[in-house]
Amino acid sequence: MSMTTCAVLSCSEIASEEIENEKSGSEFLVCPDHKAAVENGHPWWPDRDTNGIRMGRDLPPGLAKWTVLETEAPGLILTIETDRPDVEPFQIYLSKDSYEHLAGAFRPVFKPAAQ
């Protein structure tokens, strides 16, 4: 068997473990550290361009805090703070249309838990 490198993009360790993407069923070979990280619940996802895995610094920053400010104009200003100290908080103006579009985008992904 030939030596395979860990599928995590920024990792060059030898892969000896397997993880599975439950959504797609695809399997990836990873090093023991990244196998443990996945088992500890660290988020990851397949990178279609490279057939590797994005994890840690290869993922976009997470949402730490957000605030909504009503404006004089018909719309809102959304301020987003991430979980990365090196990313400055930023603001987005949401018109009524873009607000509704954004709100609608989450519905198919996050369904309410069954009672």
Binding site for Zn ion (CB under 5 A): 6, 8, 11, 13, 31, 34
CA separation for the pair 31, 15 (Å, rounded):
4
In the complex with Zn ion, the residue whose CB is nearer, 6 or 19, is 6
Q: How far apart are the first and last CA of the chain?
A: 49
Instruction: Please answer whether residues 6 and 29 qualify as being in contact, where contact means their C-beta atoms are separated by less than 8 angstroms.
Output: yes
CB of 78 to Zn ion, least distance (A): 35
In the complex with Zn ion, the residue whose CB is nearer, 50 or 91, is 50
CB of 60 to Zn ion, least distance (A): 20
In the complex with Zn ion, the residue whose CB is nearer, 41 or 85, is 41
